[in-house]
Amino acid sequence: MAPNSEQPQSAPAPRTLDEALALMKDLRARCDWDRVQTHQSLRPYLIEEAHEVDDAIAGGDDATLRDELGDLFLQVLFHSVVAEERGAFSMQDVAGALVSKMHARHPHLYGDGIKRPWESMKVAKAARSTLEEGLPAGLPSLHRAHRLQDRAAGVGFDWDNALGPLAKVREEVEEVSRLIDPATGAVTDGDALEAELGDLLFAVVNLCRKTGVHGALALDRTNAKFVRRYAAMERLAVADGKQLTALSLEEQDTYWDAVKAEERA
């Protein structure tokens, strides 16, 4: 049951969730590899499978997404069965916790009919000792910034609209510019610049959040665009009998502009 790189298969025969759970229990009983796994030993696979699901979503291939979701679901089943063997909780308990949480998150659908911000409900349910309490330690910085801002906004610490974050971004750009010599481009204070660039990134994430964009997804999109454009630059240079890395910045910029013009056309 170790992760593999198999290609997506054709649509499988319909199966039930109970059959999937029974299969996992059977593997724990009869497969040498599955039998010895623990919550700790499975951690890398859980993280890997989550990333593979994310890649499948980005790729837009439904067959791949279906299979990768199955691999991720395997991890949920695996941990649930291991926990049940320890007498901690069962898969049914996991499902029950999910249903209860969703009901609590949607009181306007399953409760008193009043819609409330999720973050404010969480604060009312269990007061946090810190703003970041409960956030995973390994959460990427960009996503952590978004969640911290979400939490603060949920209890009223937020701009009224996107104009506030936009003004803050401009303010932070100005603060960064003061630490770079306008004549030479040299950094006048490296430590201060790191702090100010952090503030700028945080402000940009806040602008993203306030406009309904997730900063991580926006950056993923731009990363992919840059890779695509750079590959196109290399192809154009090769077509001209040149090697991109051997060209001057000005010559490379000519190809960059050509690629952008081609995309606009």
Structure confidence at residue 129 (pLDDT): 82
The answer on pLDDT for 2 being more than 70 is no
Q: Please compute the mean of the pLDDT values over residues 199-203 and round it to a whole number.
A: 98
Q: Give the pLDDT band (50/70/90) at residue 261.
A: very high
The answer on pLDDT for 51 being more than 60 is yes
Asked if residue 153 lies in contact with residue 208, where contact means CB atoms within 8 angstroms, the answer is no
* CATH number for 34: 1.10.287.1080
Q: Please compute the mean of the pLDDT values over residues 67-72 and round it to a whole number.
A: 96
Structure confidence at residue 112 (pLDDT): 80
Asked if residue 143 lies in contact with residue 216, where contact means CB atoms within 8 angstroms, the answer is yes
Q: Please compute the mean of the pLDDT values over residues 98-104 and round it to a whole number.
A: 91
Judge whether 152 lies within some domain: no
Here the tokens at position 75 are 């991890």
Structure confidence at residue 113 (pLDDT): 75
The structural domain count of the chain equals 3
Phi/psi at 118 (nearest 5 deg)? Answer: -60, -45
Q: What angle do CA 97, 102, 107 make, to 5 degrees?
A: 130
30 plus 61 within the same structural domain = yes
Q: Please compute the mean of the pLDDT values over residues 115-131 and round it to a whole number.
A: 69
Phi/psi at 208 (nearest 5 deg)? Answer: -60, -50
Judge whether 139 lies within some domain: no
End-to-end, the C-alpha distance of the chain in Å comes to: 48
The answer on pLDDT for 120 being more than 80 is no
Structure confidence at residue 119 (pLDDT): 60
21 plus 98 within the same structural domain = yes
Judge whether 132 lies within some domain: no
Q: What is the DSSP letter of 26?
A: H
Give dist(CA 33, CA 53) in Å, integer: 23
237 plus 201 within the same structural domain = no
The answer on pLDDT for 4 being more than 60 is no
Judge whether 120 lies within some domain: no
Structure confidence at residue 118 (pLDDT): 64
22 plus 73 within the same structural domain = yes
Give dist(CA 232, CA 259) in Å, integer: 7
36 plus 96 within the same structural domain = yes
173 plus 246 within the same structural domain = no
DSSP 3-state of 187: strand
Give per-residue pLDDT as tens, 171-195.
999 999 999 999 999 999 999 999 9
27 plus 51 within the same structural domain = yes
Considering only residues 121 and 12, tell me which one the structure prediction assigns the higher pLDDT.
12
Of 103, 126, 153, which marks where a domain is finished? 103
Tell me the percentage of the chain whose pLDDT exceeds 70. Answer: 92
Structure confidence at residue 126 (pLDDT): 58
Judge whether 225 lies within some domain: yes
Asked if residue 137 lies in contact with residue 102, where contact means CB atoms within 8 angstroms, the answer is no
Considering only residues 126 and 207, tell me which one the structure prediction assigns the higher pLDDT.
207
The answer on pLDDT for 257 being more than 70 is yes
Of 210, 228, 245, which marks where a domain is finished? 210
Judge whether 97 lies within some domain: yes
The answer on pLDDT for 8 being more than 70 is no
Q: Which residue has the tokens 């077509």?
A: 239
Judge whether 143 lies within some domain: no
Asked if residue 59 lies in contact with residue 8, where contact means CB atoms within 8 angstroms, the answer is no
Of 58, 80, 103, which marks where a domain is finished? 103
189 plus 229 within the same structural domain = no
Judge whether 10 lies within some domain: no
Range of the domain at 26: 17-103
